[in-house]
Amino acid sequence: MAAPKKPQVPGLLKGLGVTLNTMAQTLKPKKLGGGAATVQYPHEKETPPLRARGVIALREDNCTSCMLCARSCPDWCIYIEGHKELAPPRRAGGAPRKVNKLDRFDIDYALCMYCGICVDVCPFDALFWSPEYEYSEPKIADLLHDKTKLGEWMETVPEAPALEAGAEKKKGK
CB of 13 to another protein, least distance (A): 10
Single-letter amino acid code for the residue at 146: D
Distance CA 70, CA 80 (A): 7
Selected range binding another protein among 8-16, 61-69, 108-116, 157-165, rule: CB under 8 A: 8-16
Distance CA 48, CA 156 (A): 12
Q: Which residue number, 22 or 148, has a Cβ lying nearer to another protein?
A: 22
Pick one of 12, 50, 87, 154: the residue that binds another protein (CB under 8 A): 12
Binding mask 18-47 for another protein (x = CB under 8 A): xxx-xx-xxx--------xxx-x-------
CB 118 within 8 A of CB 56: yes
Single-letter amino acid code for the residue at 71: R
What per-residue string of b and e applies to 47-82 under the rule 16 or more CB within 10 Å gives b? eeeeebbbbbbbbeeebbbbebbbeebeeebbebeb
154 touches another protein by CB under 8 A: no
136 touches another protein by CB under 8 A: no
115 touches another protein by CB under 8 A: no
CB 107 within 8 A of CB 80: no
Pick one of 1, 16, 141, 167: the residue that binds another protein (CB under 8 A): 16
Distance CA 146, CA 65 (A): 14
Binding to another protein in span 40-79, by CB under 8 A: 40
What does the binding site for another protein look like in residue numbers (CB under 8 A)? Answer: 4, 12, 15-16, 18-20, 22-23, 25-27, 36-38, 40
